[in-house]
Amino acid sequence: MAALAMIAAAGVAGTASAQPARHDGWPAGYHQDIRRDDHARIRHILRSHDMRMIGTPRLVRGDRYTVRVQDRHGRTRMVQVNAHNGRVIRL
């Protein structure tokens, strides 16, 4: 019985470990779900719509990301960007 308790405690301790450090050149806290080639593509799509990306895109589903943007007048809003076909949906 004590052996089962030790095994269970070791299993819980193994899952409670901290996130490993990132050594791939991307900042810590960068959203894990975004694909690296999509980040530049989203920024390019938003620049063509006279918008500036603020913060990090968040993956919604498939190729669609939610992004906080600032337009040319300085207004801040949330939009959804489809990284596959370039569509921008204002929320």
Residue 52 has which token pair?
A: 């500036």
> 15 in a domain, yes or no?
no
Amino acid identity at 29: G
Interior angle at CA 72, CA 63 and CA 76, nearest 5: 65
> 37 in a domain, yes or no?
yes
Range of the domain at 82: 33-91
> 81 in a domain, yes or no?
yes
Q: Count up the domains in the chain and report the number.
A: 1
> 24 in a domain, yes or no?
no
> 13 in a domain, yes or no?
no
> What is the model's pTM?
0.61
> 57 in a domain, yes or no?
yes
Question: pLDDT tens digit string along 45-83?
Answer: 999 999 999 988 888 888 899 999 999 999 999 999 999
> 17 in a domain, yes or no?
no
